[in-house]
Chains A and B, each alone.
Chain A
Amino acid sequence: LAKTTQPISMDSYEGQEVNITCSHNNIATNDYITWYQQFPSQGPRFIIQGYKTKVTNEVASLFIPADRKSSTLSLPRVSLSDTAVYYCLVGAQNTGGFKTIFGAGTRLFVKA
């Protein structure tokens, strides 16, 4: 399983763009990259998923370089409600099943 490394915490201000980078040097060919958001005492919430290049949805963008050894979650114009822990996960379905291992995550603090 590919291990992921993220910054422990980040601070930002309302209205700014936030970029959180995740390193996954041992990513396998079949692995997808998925980002989740978690608020205290809640289950993780899916944000975005990608395999290569760039993916964009209504809440975020995900940038993946050609070597796929890292990825960057971009949150445009954050608000106070974006204060949460963000997890980068790498995984895929293999023979016999697969499992998802969470890293430490990045605690994002958005200030007014």
Chain B
Amino acid sequence: GAVVSQHPSRVICKSGTSVKIECRSLDFQATTMFWYRQFPKQSLMLMATSNEGSKATYEQGVEKDKFLINHASLTLSTLTVTSAHPEDSSFYICSAVLDGQGGYEQYFGPGTRLTVT
């Protein structure tokens, strides 16, 4: 099946620094990717929709200047958490939609655990 990778798998950073998380579709092209965050014992919360070659669409309540998304190619989307604070500590998950299948095939990455100290 289609594989989506995320890098890094976990990261610890100090408050005030920025962290970049990469999401790659390894064996397929994905015009559309999604970014989610998940707190312990909770469901995934959609943060934004990332479309290759255009600006990301953010969900209500998600600060676009804080969570910068770049989808520069059909296989790579990045999420940069700028000026991270402890409340940004969470599990970040991306997903990629397989092109050419009507949008019905979506594959998830393994997630990135961010801890801000």
Contact = CB atoms under 8 A, between A and B. Distances in A.
Interface of A: 32, 34, 36, 41-46, 49, 87, 92-93, 97-105
B108 to A, nearest CB: 4
Contacts of B46: 99-102
Contacts of A42: 110-111
Given A93-B104, A102-B45, 8 more contacts: A43-B109, A49-B104, A92-B104, A93-B102, A93-B103, A97-B49, A99-B46, A103-B43
A100 B47 CA distance: 11
A101 B102 CA distance: 17
Contact of A43 (B1, B49, B104, B110): B110
A102 B113 contact: no
Contacts of B32: 97
Interface residues on B, range: 20 to 34
Given A41-B113, A99-B49, A105 B108 contact: no
Contacts, number: 57
Contacts of B44: 44, 87, 102
B67 interface: no
A104 to B, nearest CB: 5
B111 A99 contact: no
Interface in B5-57: 6, 32, 34, 36, 43-46, 49, 51, 57
A34 B1 CA distance: 16
A87 B46 CA distance: 14
A98 B103 contact: yes
Tell which of A36, A46, A100 has the most Cβ of chain B within 10 Å.
A100
B115 interface: no
A98 B46 CA distance: 12
A105 B43 contact: yes
A92 B110 CA distance: 23
B111 A100 contact: no
Contacts of B113: 41
A66 to B, nearest CB: 21
A46 B3 CA distance: 12
Interface in B48-78: 49, 51, 57
